[in-house]
Structures are given as C-alpha cells and as structure tokens.
C-alpha cells in the first residue's frame, strides 16, 4: 500500500515467467500502477487506486490490536463496522486492511 516505482508495478512487478497466485490480497495507492505483469486471481483480492480510509474501527485514532480483535470478533458477519472494505462481510480482506494500516491514522 502506498508504494512508488520508477516505471511499472508500484504494488507488484512481475517479470518473465513469474505468474503469482493472489488470494485475499490488498493492493491500493501504489504508483504508477497497482500491478504489472501476469497473475492468477484466486479470489478475495482488493485492488483499488486509492486505499480505503483509515480502518480505525473503535475510533481511538489508532489502528492496532483493538481493531484487529473487533475484526476477529465480528468474523463472518454482515452489516458490521468491522467490514472496513464494505464488501458485505467481515473476512480476511478486512483483517489485511487493518494490519496493512497499523499505526496512527493520518
């Protein structure tokens, strides 16, 4: 998240015969692009130009273990504030967004 490359693949840059399989992966806010090269979509991936807002679920200004525990507690639920990517269910994608944004909200 938030990486910059000179030419291609700010998030991921695959050369030659590499063909990674991505599952429940979050790629966002990378420049000049999220992904360069071939890859296999194994589902659950979030690839967006801009990362979701700070996933501070409990509103304390930090993304930390408290938010992670809320995601775990709400696992599998719909219509939950722990569904930080708003895809309709609390799952590994939400957990990865919380971990990927660990620290103070900007």
Which tokens go with 11? 């998030």
* Higher pLDDT pick, 79 / 1: 79
* 20 and 40 fall within a common domain: yes
pTM: 0.57
* 60 and 101 fall within a common domain: yes
5 pLDDT more than 70: yes
Domain coverage including residue 83 = 52-106
The gap between the terminal CA atoms of the chain, to the nearest Å, is 14
Which CATH number is 64's domain given?
A: 1.10.1330.10
For residue range 38-77, what is the model confidence (pLDDT) as tens digits? Answer: 889 998 888 888 776 789 998 888 999 999 999 999 999 9
* 57 and 37 fall within a common domain: no
Beta-strand runs (E) in the chain: 12-13, 21-22, 26-28, 35-36, 40-41, 46-48, 62-63, 103-104
Mean of the per-residue pLDDT values of the chain: 87
102 pLDDT more than 80: yes
* 85 and 101 fall within a common domain: yes
* 2 and 46 fall within a common domain: yes
How many angstroms separate the CA atoms of 106 and 104, rounded? 6
* 77 and 39 fall within a common domain: no
How many angstroms separate the CA atoms of 4 and 85, rounded? 23
Number of domains observed in the structure of the chain: 2
> Residue 78 — pLDDT band, cuts 50, 70, 90?
very high
């Amino acid at each position: 998240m938030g990486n910059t490359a000179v030419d291609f693949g700010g998030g991921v840059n695959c050369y030659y015969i590499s063909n990674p399989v991505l599952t429940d992966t979050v790629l966002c806010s990378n420049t000049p692009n999220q992904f360069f090269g071939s890859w296999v979509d194994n589902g659950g991936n979030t690839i967006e130009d801009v990362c979701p807002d700070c996933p501070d679920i409990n509103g304390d200004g930090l993304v930390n273990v408290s938010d992670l525990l809320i995601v775990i507690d709400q696992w599998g639920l719909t219509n939950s504030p722990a569904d930080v990517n708003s895809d309709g269910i609390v799952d590994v994608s939400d957990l990865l967004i919380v971990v990927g944004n660990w620290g103070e909200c900007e």
